Amino acid sequence: MVLNCISRTMHFTTRLVLVGLSLAAIATALKTNRRGLRATDPCTETRRALQLSGLKQPIPHTAVNGQALQMCPREYSCCTNEVEANLITQSNLDFEIQVERKCSLVEHMFSNKSAKVDDFFQKLVDNAKNSLDGLFFRTYGSLYVDNSAIFMNLFDNLKSYYHGETMLMEEIFDNFFTSLLQKVFKLMNSNYIIDDEYMQCIGDKSNTDGLQPFKGMPRQLSMRVHRAFITARSFIRGLEVGKELAFKVAKFDPTHECTKAFMKMSYCSKCQGITSIKPCHGLCLNIMKGCLHDYNTLNSVWNEYIDAMQLILDRLEGHHNIESVLDPFAIRISEAIMTLQDSKLRLQTTIFALCGTPPKANTSDSGGEFLMPFGNLGGMESFALPPSYEWPSNGNGETPSPADLENYLAKLPGSVKRGEGTVEFDLTASREKRSMDERDDTDRKSTRRARRGRRRHKQRLRESDFTDYSMTNVDPYTSSQPNPDLYEYGDTDKTSDPSDDTSLKSLVTEMREMLRATKDHWTNLPTAVCNDVAAATDSRSCWNGESEGTYDSPSVEERSENPEIIGHIPDQVIKAQTIAMRDIIGQLKNVYVGRDPFPSDDESYESSGDYSGSGEGSADGPDEKSDVVKPLYNDPQCPTCGGTNLSTTWSLMALTVIACWLLQK
């Protein structure tokens, strides 16, 4: 029994001794690692760690003499000169990848948002086109279809302008309203032979001061669309510049000194067999701040760019709101046509005086009266032939001045009767039909009936006999069938689609959040890189560049005081991008204060050139002392905006008719 107890005690003591020896061996090994490798130490862990890093160079099985190493000299090391050379190349690649990865986050963010905003803006234009297409088709029927190329060409030009083509918005609307005047005038005077030469004369005289067929609508519409499109286009351009900057500065090419510092930080510990610890955070920060110093200088201009982009978002939500401009676009064009119809007699008289009275067409046998196939612009109505207005000759055959024309027109009667040698166009039916359509469309905008109405409208189009016309190169028609995807007015923005909740307001909020998230990105770049490759900031067991321990040097901002990086070679790519960024900042600030970012002699925000039919309203630019751009025409949400008031127009017309009737009595 005693012997058995003694035997157990000896066995237990032996085990304790063995455990103690093992712990001592481990402690000695750890102590050796801190002090350095010995000739007989294995390099198994070093080989495994370097192979995982992508190094294919053979690693010694045991430590070799490392005193001749350039980067990580030690008495013994698991790295040879060949391994060290390959590690320098690998470090250069690692450094590039780390910087590119962080820059690519900004690039991808701006790229995705740019595509989303661009798609949204283009769909607004498409929806405005479809809205006008649907409204005018319901109102004018085949008459609109036969002449829809005028309207489709307008939207094509607007898209081209949005995409940055060298076009003047004034010219786009001038051409559109001139073509519209020619077409409508010919339809209103179908009892005359209006040939191409006469149409050309109408186009040439459309800017005459005494004509003004559309009052101030062309100018008002052009200026507002111009500002909205410039703002939208500039914001997209700003996003593209931000994306381009992030892409170009992501191609970082570290200097040789930075590569060596990164290699020492990342791989010297592994050459000593210490593979389980990361570089000290302070060491990494000093290396990154020294090597990425130019990114820090880029940060100030980047923040200025972010602030300028925020200002453009303010404009997109304000008077430069492209959504509020395009949403009532069809109604504005309809109002312009109504304005032209309201002044039909004066228009006819003026054009006959300027271009001469065209020859009369063949008429029916109804005593000089004719049937004018004017579609929904008044229906099939009986009209008496107008007299041939003779222009008083000045004896030398010269064209009279606008002042002479005004004096001549002032002597003409303000109203005429049917059957007395003059013509009276009754367009009440058309006007009432348009007004009812517009009111109905507005009422349906926020109700469930809008969607049901669209389905019924599409079904009516499919079942209609309106299939005998042909059109070429006119979107949205692609065959002899009407476009099955016509939008009813009041559903022109993307929010009308129940499957898509995107609106300009939500999009602006999203853009603001993205811009705020990228502010100070370049100053924070060193920290972002070190958070991935270095130990935590409070770690006491890290590689300090020489051994395992702590890093005592403070993190510095000034390059001249950096203990890890000496010297500096300016990055020419960053310098070039800084210049490009300052250019876009200037353009964005011009847009914000209401100036064209690329002003020309022909058109700018402050331009005051005449438009076809312009004669009312003001297009003055913003006050130089104010950065607020005032809207140019009536808006339900903008009671202070100026513009044409239709109720006032109707009142004046009624008073004119009553006055003429009293004079004749």
CA distance 306 to 322: 21
Q: What is the pLDDT of residue 469?
A: 26
Inter-CA distances, 571 with 135, 200, 295, 298, 303, Å: 58, 60, 9, 11, 19
Q: What is the pLDDT of residue 404?
A: 53
**Which regions of 298-406 does DSSP assign to beta strands (E)?**
370-373, 380-383
Summarised one tens digit per residue, pLDDT across range 607-647 is: 333 333 333 333 333 333 333 333 323 333 333 333 334 44
Q: What is the pLDDT of residue 13?
A: 54
Q: What is the pLDDT of residue 154?
A: 95
Q: What is the pLDDT of residue 596?
A: 72
Q: What is the pLDDT of residue 412?
A: 43
CA distance 280 to 276: 13
Task: Report yes or no: 273 and 33 within 8 Å, Cβ to Cβ.
Answer: yes
Summarised one tens digit per residue, pLDDT across range 132-159 is: 999 999 988 888 999 999 999 999 999 9
Q: What is the pLDDT of residue 7?
A: 58
Classify the C-alpha dihedral 574-576-579-581 as positive or negative: negative
Q: Which amino acid is at 218?
A: P
Those residues of the chain that have pLDDT short of 50 are 2, 17-19, 21-34, 365-400, 402, 405-406, 408-409, 411-434, 436, 438-500, 600-657, 659-661, 663, 665
What are the boundaries of each domain within the chain? 2-96, 106-393+425-618
Three-state secondary structure string covering 201-220:
HHHHHCCCCCCCCCCCHHHH
CA distance 17 to 19: 5
Q: What is the pLDDT of residue 481?
A: 32
Q: Residue with structure tokens 């302008």?
A: 161
Of the CA atoms within 13 Å of residue 597, those in its CB half-sphere come to 22
As beta bridge partners, residue 148 has none
DSSP state at residue 76: E
Q: What is the pLDDT of residue 497?
A: 43
CA distance 500 to 497: 6
Contacts of 426 by beta carbon, 8 Å cutoff, 6+ apart: 378, 381
Q: What is the pLDDT of residue 209?
A: 63
